Structure 1
């Protein structure tokens, strides 16, 4: 395996609620760089944010802290939140970690599908 674990594995949330995902790895502390990506249905994967324990989140392109939150206090784990879910936020969210090195850029990835739903169904 990749040594990277993302929880939850599937996330169903109500509209206007927040979707929180966690990512951790069992690699050594040199893997302190974390990336979060989003893939909407029918589209390619886009990088949302890059973060390290010593930096503020670095958002890409159209993505901003108004909609997304990334936290990372230690090398081995971090979290990502999609705020105030809308229908258009349903998709696949990927966590990846990489090792900072002058000679190599090893990389591991995992994912969580997120579904916004308008009602909760009770069985």
Structure 2
């Protein structure tokens, strides 16, 4: 597994990508997919003894690997520039199979965006309004006539059954109310 999933860093700063492995291996490979160059690039291989082998045109001053254990490796990238942006992958080789990590997207900008100072509005549940997105969507969901017509009919039947019961109750008790008033 790799953490974090995304990094947004400022030009000339540095960053670290953590790779944790669960399998036996002889070391960790690091690769970068560069969207700018549209290529998958081998950066370096770091063995379990801490020795590194770099890809062509890869600087050992820019990329270093720190291993805190035999299952945890950190790729340190220094002096970031826009050309460093891309997807970074750690990988281990096991039984002649190359297993890639989940990937970390690195973005490099000249100025980091300011954090938002406004608080998000509290979440409240609002009643859903029936606004079909298309004619086909108009016949689905809570707004469908298949839902509200039976509900309206049931409500009407309930109201019609209450009226005679209320009239009967009124007539029965009217005599006793009139007698008490006199």
> TM-score band, normalised by the shorter chain?
0.7 to 0.9
The two structures have a TM-score, normalised by structure 1, of 0.84
Q: 1:82 aligns to what?
A: 77
Q: 1:120 aligns to what?
A: 112
In the aligned structure 1, how far is the partner of 2:38 from the partner of 2:15? 20
Q: Deviations over 1:45-74 (max 9, x none)?
A: 111000112141110101021211112243
- CA offset at residue 82 of structure 1? 1.3
Q: Is the 8 A contact 2:18 2:72 kept in 1?
A: yes
- CA offset at residue 79 of structure 1? 0.9
Bigger fraction of residues in strand: 1
In the aligned structure 2, how far is the partner of 1:105 from the partner of 1:55? 21
In the aligned structure 1, how far is the partner of 2:110 from the partner of 2:88? 20
Aligned length: 113
Q: Give the alignment of 1:1-123 within 5 angstroms.
A: 5-27=1-23, 30-41=24-35, 42-99=37-94, 104-110=95-101, 111-121=103-113, 122-123=115-116
In the aligned structure 1, how far is the partner of 2:59 from the partner of 2:112? 29
Structure ranking higher on relative contact order (CA contacts 8 Å, 6+ apart): 1
In the aligned structure 2, how far is the partner of 1:106 from the partner of 1:39? 20
Q: Is the 8 A contact 1:22 1:78 kept in 2?
A: yes
Structure with max Cα Rg: 2
The two structures have a TM-score, normalised by structure 2, of 0.58
In the aligned structure 2, how far is the partner of 1:31 from the partner of 1:107? 10
Where in structure 1 do 4 or more consecutive aligned residues deviate above 6 Å? none
Gaps of 5+ in 1: none
In the aligned structure 1, how far is the partner of 2:4 from the partner of 2:87? 12
Gaps of 5+ in 2: 117-182
